[in-house]
Structure 1
Amino acid sequence: MPTALITGASSGLGVEFARQLAASGADLVLVARDRAALDRVAEAVRAASGVRVEVLAADLLKPRDLARVVARVADAERPIDLLVNNAGFGLPLDFARNDVDDEVRHLELHVEVPMRLSHAALGAMLARGRGRIVNIASVAGFVPRSTYGACKGWLISFSRWANGRYGPDGVTTTAICPGFTHTNFHERMGLPPGQEGVPGPMWLDAKQVVREGLRDVARGKAVSVPSLRYRVLVGLTRLAPPSLAARIGERGR
């Protein structure tokens, strides 16, 4: 059976990726900092789908922990067929007021960590002639949205390039770019439900995001934007003047 490694697998989209990939028959390697939360997810997935689930507790911002995950991704004896770079966290949009060390950690988790894991995955996957890499980006990567948008824009650009470069060799890379999605991501930023300043119709369901994203991954697409309304929005932002695009990017938190 194929094996998928998912970072940020203890909550939010990571849990939904675990559920849907396990339902499709994939064995899992779940990575996150919280071992107890990972164990709960693993137990639920095993009970629902009967697949093998390996738990790898690691803080990806600690070099020693990141090295363990890189080694697991690169392990030729226990191949990873699908890598999902999902780990992340959010910061307030006011870069000038944010702690710069928090901004550096934000950059490391959203750019350096997926870059290192993708590099490890590519080496192993190209040797086998097959594999898929999934980078969880955001529609924020298409609009000016502080350093979060900048990080996600890097993931989108990198995924486009990697898919074109290595896709013909059997290894595809897809950036999945959700809009605002119902998970606990915003609650972890300290925002009570309903206080994000985003109209109800703009919210997506995590199941839909993962289902549409995995469909595009299977098709080998470089960029996936789940839901028609966000695909339209992304198209409009490309036509908007920079000042208007910046105001759009300030919506929500």
Structure 2
Amino acid sequence: MVVTNMLSNVLDWTYRLLQQYKSREQLLTAYHLLQQSVFEAERKQQAEQIKALQLEKELQIHRERLGRDLHDGLGSQLTHLISRLDILVYLGNPDVNQLVRLCEFAREMNQTLRETIWLLDRGTVTLETFGSRLHGILLKIGEDREVPELRWQLRNSPDNPVLSPLIALHLIRITQEATNNALKYAIATQVSVNLAVDKTNLLLTITDNGQGFDARTTSKGFGLTNMRKRTEEVKGNFNLQTSRSGTKIRVIIPLNT
């Protein structure tokens, strides 16, 4: 009986020891898993902080470029406006047509300033918001014109991608330049502006059914050099096709620029 009790006690002690050992193993395993989870969380947090710093740096670079664009563009326009006004004052008898042209020029300057400030106030802009803004600009360009007909189309994606201010500004300037050229010089009955997005790129297409032109001799007057430079600055591709049946400008810009 005594032996039986002793054996029972030994077995019970052994069982509790095994249970304690098993619990200790489980505790160590849980502790290591917790350590790994904490390490992973810290790593993700550091990665997010680095990403945020990179985005802030990129945003600052974009703002500096926008500032330079504003300074160069508006500065040269103001210089031109002041010089023209000085001439009119010197002549003493300004021509009404000249005053009208200067008023239109001043309105364009004001619009340019508004667009740049609108972009500077935003860190990023969604394609939907940008498309609405660009459509409004096109309506102003085409107002009071019955011919040519100015058409606009935006083909967005469900995820509504985000654009940097710099890309948005360059797209606005390219669209303004190409559209104004088509309206003024193409002798077209229709001008179409299409903005679309695929998985990796933005696609801006501006077409007209006008008379075309010789790109080799009119590139400077039509602002083609500036349009190319703007496209290249955001690592895009600029393509021009022109013939007697019309002109097509196509700009492809990577979304991750």
Q: TM above 0.5, one fold?
A: no
Structure with the largest fraction of helix: 2
What TM-score do you get using the length of structure 2 for normalisation?
0.28
After TM superposition, the score normalised by the length of structure 1 is 0.28
**Which one scores higher on RCO, CA 8 angstroms, separation ≥ 6?**
1
